[in-house]
Structure 1
Amino acid sequence: MNQNNRFLKFTIGDDDKKIVRKFLVQRKFSSSQLHNLKNKGGQIFVNHKQRHFNYPLKKGDQILIVLNTEEPSDLIEPMPGKVDVVFEDDYLLVVNKPPGIASLPAKAKDSKTMANVVKSYLIDKKENSSIHLVTRLDRNTSGLMVFAKTSYAHSLLDRILHTEDFKKFYLAMVYGQVSPEKGLIDLPIGIDPKAFYMRNIDHDLGKPSQTLYETVEKFDDASLLKLKLLTGRTHQIRVHLTAIGHPIIGDDMYSKKIDPRMDRQALHCYCLEIVHPVTKKLLKLTAPLPKDMVMLKSVLRGEKNG
């Protein structure tokens, strides 16, 4: 049984706190994680001997933390399905999500979502099957999605989510040619008062939201943009591009028109650059443009040439 993701190893250095509890807090353990470690079957070993939170440490000590077993939520049922794994280790799982599937179940439990499929995948691997969603994508957005394998890994990733240690890049095909060709969209986003599931630009109640964009290719009446999210609001890219007059092709919710060339918004999370919160290595992960967007690009290029 693969249980590697339940073990954490540390060597005490000069600058580390010298009491076990203070050291764990320094290493970003939350109070609930400390509680679970103490009361739900976690274990602490210092130099191969089991110790408690108040044990004094010295430089060079080897600490082994055995995390408690997590109880998976019954709200997410495991459902078999294809999981396109882009990266996986003991701490995180990055998958390439196809369009047309939600990230997490809504209240109805019967529809298949990425969380259900990933849970089934982890159970098949005999791993901790608690679902820790770090990044989510709209149902009709495709591309890279990140799951953490433990609550500890989840909290470490959450801390860097909107920093330069966790960069998210998207490709979008939009109506029209964007001017200037690159720039920053800095407009606050709030809930649309006319429809709770939509978002809009709201200068009074909206939350600060920033999206960097750059034109990658121009077509006759469309553009391929590369986008970098600086914040993580619901529908952020879709709302921001609509606000500057260049909605995403196929995004009928915001463009207010059906496009026969694309039956979803042409938006894909194609690249993540993450400084791994445990190993500190830079992960550069990519997911190729899905078929429907490749076809749309060739259609747009054809219009350009013809």
Structure 2
Amino acid sequence: MSHLLPMNSGTDSRFTMQFIATQDGQLLREALQEWSISKRALTSIKFGGGLLTVNGIEQNVRYPLSQGDLVTVKFPLEERSEGLVVEHGNLEIVYEDEALLILNKPPYQSTIPSREHPTKSVANFVCGYFQQQNVASTVHIVTRLDRDTSGLLCIAKHAHIHHLTGLAQRKRDISRQYEAIVHGHLAQDYQTIQMPIGRKESSIIEREVRADGQFAHTDVTVLQRFWLEDEPMTYVRLKLHTGRTHQIRVHMAFIGHPLVGDELYGGSRQHIGRQALHCVSLEMMQPLTKQALHVTSRLADDIQRLLL
């Protein structure tokens, strides 16, 4: 398999990828599958204004390829999701290329609009940024953060990129690390928590460890044990191997050390007005170039103050 980087030519702003065939007689459909073009994308290309060409000539998916053929895939133009209002606001961009946008999200900002917070979300502001940059895309969230969690958040610039990052997540090829302050002094310097998480029956928001939940795996490393106004606290680094809703918050509460500020799961807001949780590191392969990508973020100021 061989592929080239995305390219756009002239006034055609459709997201375009090019591949070089490596086998004689392979059907275009089979080659596209090897190149991780999803069936959903092929349907969208066929009926939504996309285009498949081999050596510049339009072909259907039953076309037999020859080694060295240049296959061009033009994806249809994307439309912004209904109800996603374009807004312009501050985005702290940590990394950007033709496929990805990685931001440092502040606390108290939603990743996507909700009934309670319909505007000023990351997604609203990214729509405005894409409009300014003439990026023909809607917002595809790769790694979401809770409203009160700060730190690194990854966005794909196209549905196909989102598909590729989804495949990487399922193979656990995207690694995220967080830092947090929790109540109490953890006894062990390192521990791994593998407990299933599911929705609590009495709540539409709260999760809990439960036997019929989804597998969830968190590694916990102690960075510092300290006291704040006679209260024991521990500064920890957490590595997510899975991405369940509220995973870190649920796992830490389950072992008796809820996050400071996390009232939903037993924490106190005496010293901070939100859960003391920040995504400090994101490691992944760039989905097109396959180059290793490692992005970091400094711990948010309100959490830093707890350590002073």
Give the alignment's TM-score, normalised by structure 2.
0.90
| CA drift at 1:28 | 1.8
Counterpart residue number, 2:119: 111
Given that 2:280 and 2:298 are in contact with CA atoms closer than 8 Å, whether structure 1 keeps it comes out as: yes
Q: 1:24-80 CA deviation, whole Å, 9 max, x = no partner?
A: 122222222101111221112222333332222111222221111112112211111
Of the three residues 94, 99, 106, the one matched with 2:107 is: 99
Question: Residues 112-131 of structure 1: matches in 2 within 5 Å?
Answer: 112-131=120-139
Instruction: Report the more deviating stretch, 180-189 or 51-60.
Output: 51-60
Alpha-carbon spacing, 1:34–1:196, altered in 2? closer, same or farther (3 Å): same
| 3-state SS of 1:111 partner | coil
Counterpart residue number, 1:207: 214
Identity %: 34
Alpha-carbon spacing, 1:108–1:264, altered in 2? closer, same or farther (3 Å): closer
Q: Paired residues, what number?
A: 295
Q: 1:236-268 CA deviation, whole Å, 9 max, x = no partner?
A: 100100111111111111125332x21111100
| CA drift at 1:209 | 1.1
Counterpart residue number, 1:233: 244
Counterpart residue number, 2:161: 153
Given that 2:260 and 2:268 are in contact with CA atoms closer than 8 Å, whether structure 1 keeps it comes out as: no
Alpha-carbon spacing, 1:17–1:80, altered in 2? closer, same or farther (3 Å): farther
Given that 1:273 and 1:283 are in contact with CA atoms closer than 8 Å, whether structure 2 keeps it comes out as: yes
| Contiguous gaps of at least 5 residues in structure 2 | 1-9
Given that 1:141 and 1:268 are in contact with CA atoms closer than 8 Å, whether structure 2 keeps it comes out as: yes
Give the AA of the match of 1:98. Answer: P
Counterpart residue number, 1:190: 198
Q: How large is the Cα RMSD of the aligned pairs?
A: 1.9
| CA drift at 1:3 | 7.0
Of the three residues 15, 21, 42, the one matched with 1:12 is: 21
| CA drift at 1:152 | 0.8
| CA drift at 1:131 | 1.4
| 3-state SS of 1:214 partner | strand
Counterpart residue number, 1:295: 305
Of the three residues 221, 226, 232, the one matched with 1:219 is: 226
| CA drift at 1:282 | 0.6
Give the AA of the match of 1:249. Answer: V
Instruction: Report the more deviating stretch, 35-44 or 105-114.
Output: 105-114
Correspondence 1:251 to 2:262? yes
Alpha-carbon spacing, 1:109–1:271, altered in 2? closer, same or farther (3 Å): closer
Correspondence 1:52 to 2:60? yes
| 3-state SS of 1:173 partner | strand
| CA drift at 1:193 | 2.3
| Contiguous gaps of at least 5 residues in structure 1 | 299-306
Give the AA of the match of 1:216. Answer: L
Counterpart residue number, 1:301: none
